[in-house]
Amino acid sequence: MFKRIYFEPKTIYHADVIIDLGAHQGTFTTYAVLNMKPHSIPISVEPNPKAYSVLLENIRLLKHVIMKKNLKFVAINKAVYISKKFVKLKLTKHSETSYISTSGDLGAQTITLRELFSIFQHLKDPKILIKMDIEGTEHDLLRDEISLKFLGMCKAIAIEPHGNLNQIKKALEHLGFKVSVQNILLDPTLCLRWLKCQPRLYTSIIASYRLIASSIAKPRITIVRADQW
C-alpha cells in the first residue's frame, strides 16, 4: 500500500530523515522503519491522543528493529502548524483522524517545521522525506514563508491533499519540485494491513469496517508527489 501511495522502499532507504506528519496509528511509520537504513531518524507527529497512544504501542513493537538499526526515533504528540499555539482539534467521523478547527472536540499544542528540523540540525545536508496527511493544514504550511523554506530543503514530499489541489501543486512547483498527481484505486484487501497493528481489538474493527466500506464504495486516494532528488 505505502509503496504504491507514498514512497518506494529504495527511496525510504536513501533518506536520512523521514517525517511522518499526521502519523495517526503509525501504519506509514511502521513501513518507514522497516525500510530505513541504519542510523536514520524517523519522526512521527500525531496530535490525536487516542491515535498517538496506538502509535506508541506500534513503535514499542518495532523496538527490536529500531535498536538493531540504531534509529534515532522521535514521536511527538502535537499538531504541526505555522506557529506555536494551543489549538482545538475536531475529530472526523468514521475515521481515526482529526483536524484543526475553531470548534474542536479536544485541544493540542502545535509544533512548527522549524522546531522539527532543529531535531536533526547536527546532520550535514541530510536527505529528508516528508509524508503529509494533516487534514487541510498543508495549505497553511504552503502559504507560510518560513514553512516553505524548510519544505524546500526536502528531497521528496508526498501529500494526501485536502482542499484545492492546484494551489498545492503550484506552491510545490514554485519551490522547484517536480510535481505529479496520482489517483489510486485502493485494493480492499489492503485494509487487512491494519491487522498487523496494535491494539488487536481496535485494529480488527478498523480493518473490518474499511474492508466492507472499500469493497462497496471502491474508494480512490489522491496523492501529490513532489520530488527533487
Task: Confirm whether 112 is domain-assigned.
Answer: yes
- For the cut 90, the answer to whether the pLDDT of residue 218 exceeds it is no
User: H or E stretch including 182?
Assistant: strand 178-185
Tell me if 212 is assigned to some domain: no
Residue 223 half-sphere exposure toward CB, CA atoms < 13 A: 23
Q: Which domain holds residue 6?
A: 2-182+223-227
CA-to-CA dists, residue 207 to 95, 96, 168, angstroms: 11, 12, 30
Name the strand (E) or helix (H) holding 170. Answer: helix 165-174
Q: Tell me if 63 is assigned to some domain.
A: yes
pLDDT band of 116, cuts 50, 70, 90: very high
Q: Is residue 188 part of a domain?
A: no
Q: Does residue 189 lie in a domain region?
A: no
Q: Is residue 202 part of a domain?
A: no
Contact 80, 138 (CB under 8 A): no
State the amino acid at position 147 in one-letter form.
Answer: S
pTM above 0.75, yes or no: yes
Q: 41 pLDDT exceeds 90? A: yes
User: What CATH number is attached to the domain comprising 67?
Assistant: 3.40.50.150
**Number of domains within the chain:** 1
Q: How far apart are the first and last CA of the chain?
A: 22
- Distance from chain centroid for Cα 26: 9
- Per the CB < 8 A criterion, the answer to whether 205 and 212 are in contact is no
Cα distance between residue 86 and residue 100, in whole Å: 10
- Model confidence at 217: pLDDT above 70: no
- Evaluate whether residue 7 is within a structural domain: yes
Would 198 be classed as within a structural domain?
no
